[in-house]
Amino acid sequence: MSSNSRVATITSHLKQKGGKQLVRESCMPLEHKGYGKVILFGEHFVVYGVPAVVCAVNEFTDCKIKKLPKGESGWKVTDNRPAVPGYIVNKAAEQKMAHDLVINHLQLDLSQQGIEIVLGGPLVPTSGIGASASNVTALARALSHSFDLNLNNDEVNAAAYVGEGGYHGTPSGIDNTAATFGGLLSFRRTKDGPKFSKITTPAKGFLVVVSTGITASTTTVVGEVRSIRQSCPLMFEHMMTQYQQILDRSTKALAEGDWDTVGRLMNENHLLLKKLGLSIPELEKIIKAATASGAIGAKLSGTGRGGIAVALCSDAASQQHVAEELKKLPAARFVWKYSIGGK
């Protein structure tokens, strides 16, 4: 079954639930959330069928649904997320399309009673952190509650995947899967639909995630990578082979909790992304400073051309030191600390 067929199957099931009018306002945002994420391995390559490794972070977007005044139909959004400057304005048109896609996918009737979508939560929207997926995932969960749809996680994930089309054109599905299920995941896009599995690693890893504050258009960047693949197929195929080797070694290292090897492989993955023209001077300064401060690996994460970099540290003390050093860097607009894996 193709990705489109899978969504169509769930949509057919939702028609029995959809077409509904508002049942209740949603005032429990902590239950209606979507996680942010960082990609450790495989951004852009995942679009062409090879697996990627993604880590959901503990910060999230939440969503509440409120009634519009009597007589007002349709929907409007109040976006209270603590975004980097310019993000919400730059993404407004894509967000509108994404929300329309989710609402239409769920077969909701807003002709009699309109709704206000209120977004918040601690996740700071910036390119690369999965903010769009956390948005539409939280929205799907809030709408499920307000319209009595009783969506399960697979149905939430399907709705979020449809919504991601508003932001990304043809999304890989990796961001919405991380936003829905959380944790450390291996993700692969196949002709039978997205396939993912949880990754268990015995030792804790320590991440420092840094935002450049620069917003890039995922649709544009993905399109440019596609053009490179089409114009230089042999070069791109060689890079895919190199990435697969990185992935195979990283999978083994993660299973063993060998973070030193994971860090070195992150460095190798970054060089491939750099060859595709996805890095910029701000990202390079952050990555160089991170490794100089003691990080065992660092790379851009997500779309590239801005967005975020992620650095891997050996322990909490190193993580704290790297974070403090990066905060001194003008290119590092926001700095966060996360941990993954372990018991």
CA atoms within 13 A of residue 29's CA, in its CB half-sphere: 18
Supply φ then ψ for residue 295, to 5 degrees: -65, 140
In the prediction, which pLDDT does 168 show? 80
What does the pLDDT read at residue 233?
97
What is the pLDDT at residue 26? Answer: 67
Tokens of 139: 């929205």
Least confident of 143-157, 188-202, 318-332: 188-202
Beta strands 184-190 and 52-67 are antiparallel
Pick 10 or 311 by higher pLDDT. Answer: 311
pTM higher than 0.95 for the full model?
A: no
Q: Where are the alpha helices (DSSP H) in the chain?
A: 3-14, 87-90, 92-105, 131-146, 153-168, 174-181, 218-231, 233-256, 259-275, 281-292, 316-326
Task: Of 168-172, 177-181, 184-188, 313-317, give the lowest mean pLDDT range.
Answer: 168-172
Q: For 127-155, how does the pLDDT look when each residue is reduced to its tens digit (9 = 90+)? A: 889 999 999 999 999 999 999 999 999 99
pLDDT at res. 219: 84
Angle at 116 between CA 111 and CA 122, to 5 degrees: 150
Band of residue 2 on the pLDDT scale cut at 50, 70, 90: very low
pLDDT one-digit tens code per residue, 288-297:
999 999 999 9
Range 14-37 average pLDDT: 70
Those residues whose C-beta lies under 8 Å from the C-beta of residue 261, and which sit 6 or more positions away, are 249, 250, 253
- The fraction of the chain above a pLDDT of 70, given in percent, is 92
**The pLDDT value given to residue 190:** 85
Q: Is the pLDDT confidence value at 12 over 70?
A: no
Q: Which of 5-19, 204-218, 278-292 has the lowest mean pLDDT?
A: 5-19
Q: Could you tell me which of 32, 169, 156 has the C-alpha nearest to residue 105? A: 156
- The kind and range of the H/E element at 308 are strand 308-313
Residue 193: its H or E element: strand 193-198
Which pLDDT score, from 0 to 100, does residue 3 have?
Answer: 46
Mean pLDDT of 100-117: 96
Residues 146, 67 contacting (CB under 8 angstroms): no
Query: 8 to each of 27, 44, 108, how far by Cα in Å?
Result: 30, 25, 16
Tell me the C-alpha to C-alpha distance, in Å, between residue 230 and each of 55, 117, 156, 241: 30, 40, 34, 16
Q: Compute the mean pLDDT over every residue in the chain, rounded to the nearest whole number.
A: 91
